[in-house]
Amino acid sequence: MLDGVSLDQLRTFIAAADEGSFSAAGRRLRRAQSVVSQTLANLEGQLGVKLFDRSGHLPVLTDQGRALLADARAVAGDVDLLKARAKSLAGGLEPELSAAVDVMFPDAAFTHAVSAFQKEFPATLLRFDIESSAVIEPVLDGRCAIGVVGSWAQLPPQLSHEPLLTVRVPMVVSPRHPLASRRGRIPITVLAEHIQLSHIDPGDMTQVLAARAKYPKIWRLSHLGAKLAFLRAGFGFGGMPLHTIQADLASGALVEIMAEDSPPGGHVTEMTAIYRTDSPPGPAGRWFIDRLKQAQTPPLKRELTRSQPVSVAAQAARRRLSGRLAAAKRNQSR
């Protein structure tokens, strides 16, 4: 009977264990719940063990099911690796490459990679979506071959991932905002009294709920440009990728602040390339990922790497001093 165990049965077993219910496994596999239930019942009959306890509202793995789940993952993983190697050996160049990229990835690094890709693979159509957090789903359902996400994302087991680069995300406010005048680390209770400007995707409920629990006053803007405009206008505080606000920090249009629970040097997120393990990128996709790995975030200017932000008063004093020096030079030239 064991010879009749199929890869499809093992994948159904893994999906049901991961999702915690047969109906959720059905949605993941795009099958009816009844088909999932029957597939698992057949698998249990062939193995001669009970994989799930169905006495409660939701199925729960038995001790035998937990023991066999690791073996099922190993077998499915080996098959995925076999398929990946076979596709690589076939060496067929993709006629089209689609990618979903989170807005946190540096624009300059991405555009340079796109420009180089078009020169290297002129016959491959490159299309992409720039998303706010919603990157995993289009890769999972096959709409995009490659995704680029941040380290905050919860990656399902069907996806492989490779690190690309890191992005510093300082918390900033307008110099006119009440928080700009505070020195040192700011307590969470104080930050919670003000509006947090966020670009969390509403579909990522884990992030949404965590953010609301910490900062109840949240305005969500799906576009980084709109978020930056709101920050400059003094509507609230929020984190922004450093490469998008270096000019604002240098000019004083934005001021960096530090929450009491921020790590030394501020928050840093790692950007990662993802793709389905059972459908790895071909030659063009592989080249594109490697090109993104070569990208580097702009070097941090010395005045932006300090652990404490410059106060509004200090910035005003600097501007007054610069004005006096300029006036003195004009008088000397007369």
pLDDT digits (tens, 9 = 90+) for 56-89: 989 999 999 999 999 999 888 888 777 766 665 5
Q: Average of pLDDT values for 288-297?
A: 82
- Mean pLDDT of the residues in the chain: 82
Between 91-100, 135-144, 268-277, 284-293, the lowest mean confidence (pLDDT) is in 91-100
pTM: 0.59
Is 221's pLDDT higher than 70? yes
pLDDT tens-digit series, residues 188-199: 999 999 999 987
Mapped onto helix, strand or coil, the DSSP state of residue 223 is coil
Burial code (b: 16+ CB inside 10 Å, e: under 16) for 48-68 equals eeebbeeeeeebebbeebeeb
Q: What pLDDT does residue 331 have?
A: 55
Please tell me which of 11-20, 83-92, 292-301 the model is most confident about, judged by mean pLDDT. Answer: 11-20
Strands 146-150 and 196-198: unpaired
Mapped onto helix, strand or coil, the DSSP state of residue 239 is strand
The CB-side HSE value for 252 (13 A sphere, CA atoms) comes to: 12
Q: What pLDDT does residue 313 have?
A: 44
Q: What pLDDT does residue 66 have?
A: 92
Q: What pLDDT does residue 210 have?
A: 53
Q: What pLDDT does residue 321 have?
A: 44
